[in-house]
Amino acid sequence: MSTPHGPQPRGRSRQRFGTTHRFGTTQWSVVLAAGGSDTGIARPALATLCEVYWYPLYAYSRRRGSEADEAADLVQGFFTELIEKSAIAAADPERGRFRGFLVTSFRRFVSRQQEHDSAAKRGGGVAVLSLDFAHGEQRYAREPADTSTPERIYERRWALTILETVIVRLQDEVVRGGRAELFDSLKCYLDGSTPVPAYADVAERLGMTVGAVKVSVHRLRRRYRDLLRATVADTLTDPAAVDEELRHLLEAVRG
C-alpha cells in the first residue's frame, strides 16, 4: 500500500477525481458536542459512524470467545444503548478517537450484560441499525488463524475498514463521473497489494496513451490520499491528529 500521508504531488491539471476535503467539524466532533441532547444532527452522524465501523467490534467479540449469535446480539444491543440512550454523553473528548471510545464502551457494555446475565437487555429485540451479521461472520471466518489478541484484531479490522471505506467512496466518485471502466483498470495501483500490469498494457486495453494512464493513476492516488485523510478525520475531534492516526492505521494493517 502506498504511504497515504506522504508528500502531496504538485502540478496543475484540469481533470479532477473529486474536490479536496475541507477540515472543519468532523462527524465525531458533532456527536461529542451534542452529547445527550437531541439535535437531530448528532444521532444520524453517530448512526453513520456505527454502520461503517461495527465489524471491528464484531470481530473483537468473536475473538474474545462469543458465539456468532451472541456477538451479533452484543453488538446490536451496544448500538441500541449508544444511539437511543444518550450513552455518548459519557465519551471523553480528551481521547478524541472514535475507535478508542467504541471499544472501551463496548467492553463496559459486555461486562454489564455478563453481570446481569440477561439476553433481554441486549437490544430488546429492536434493531436500531441494519447490520449484515451473516456477512460479518463470513468475513470473520476468513480472519487469519493466529494467536492475535482481541485488541489486535480490533485494531487491524478497524484499519482495514477505513481503507475499504475509502476505496468505496473513491469508486463511487469515479463511477458517478462515468468512468467505471477506468477505475476498474486502475484500482490495482492504489494499495500495492497485488502485482500491477504495465502501463502500456492498460493503455492498450483502454485505448489511451501511456502518458494519459500515468496521469490518471497519479490523480487517482492523490484523490485516494485526500479521501483517506478526510475519512480518518471524521473519526477524530482534532484534525491535527490525522497524521498520527494514519501512522497507527498503517502499523495496524502491517500487523
From the CB of residue 125, how many other CB atoms can be counted at a distance below 10 Å?
11
Q: Which residue has the cell 465489524?
A: 55
Residue 14 counted as domain residue? no
Residue 154 counted as domain residue? yes
Residue 9 counted as domain residue? no
Q: Between residues 175 and 31, which one has the greater pLDDT?
A: 175
User: Sorting pLDDT into bands at 50, 70 and 90, what band is 37?
Assistant: low
Angle between the 133-141 and 42-63 helix axes, to the nearest 10 degrees?
Answer: 40
Give Cα 63 distance to the centre of its chain. Answer: 20
- At residue 19, the pLDDT reads 39
Contact 12, 218 (CB under 8 A): no
- At residue 13, the pLDDT reads 36
Residue 104 counted as domain residue? yes
- The pTM (predicted TM-score) of the whole model is 0.77
Q: Which residue has the cell 453481570?
A: 115
Residue 101 counted as domain residue? yes
The neighbouring-strand residues paired with 38 are: none
Q: Which of 29-33, 61-65, 93-97, 109-113 has the lowest mean pLDDT?
A: 93-97
Distance CA 55, CA 72 (A): 10
Torsion (CA) 103, 52, 18, 180 in degrees, nearest 10: 140
Q: Which residue has the cell 479532477?
A: 16
User: Sorting pLDDT into bands at 50, 70 and 90, what band is 223?
Assistant: very high
Q: Between residues 20 and 202, which one has the greater pLDDT?
A: 202
Q: Which amino acid is at 38?
A: D
3-state secondary structure of 97: strand
- At residue 92, the pLDDT reads 65
Residue 15 counted as domain residue? no
User: Sorting pLDDT into bands at 50, 70 and 90, what band is 135?
Assistant: confident
Distance CA 156, CA 136 (A): 15
Tell me which residue range forms the domain holding 86. 27-122+132-254
Whole-number percent of the chain with pLDDT over 70 = 76
Residue 71 has pLDDT above 50, yes or no: yes
Average pLDDT over residues 84-99: 71
3-state secondary structure of 236: strand
Torsion (CA) 166, 23, 155, 170 in degrees, nearest 10: 0
Residue-wise pLDDT for 156-169, tens only, equals 999 999 999 999 99
Distance CA 37, CA 41 (A): 10
Structurally, how many domains does the chain consist of? Answer: 1
Residue 249 has pLDDT above 50, yes or no: yes
Residue 174 counted as domain residue? yes
Q: Between residues 199 and 239, which one has the greater pLDDT?
A: 199
State the cell numbers at 58.
Answer: 464484531
Residue 212 counted as domain residue? yes
- At residue 58, the pLDDT reads 95
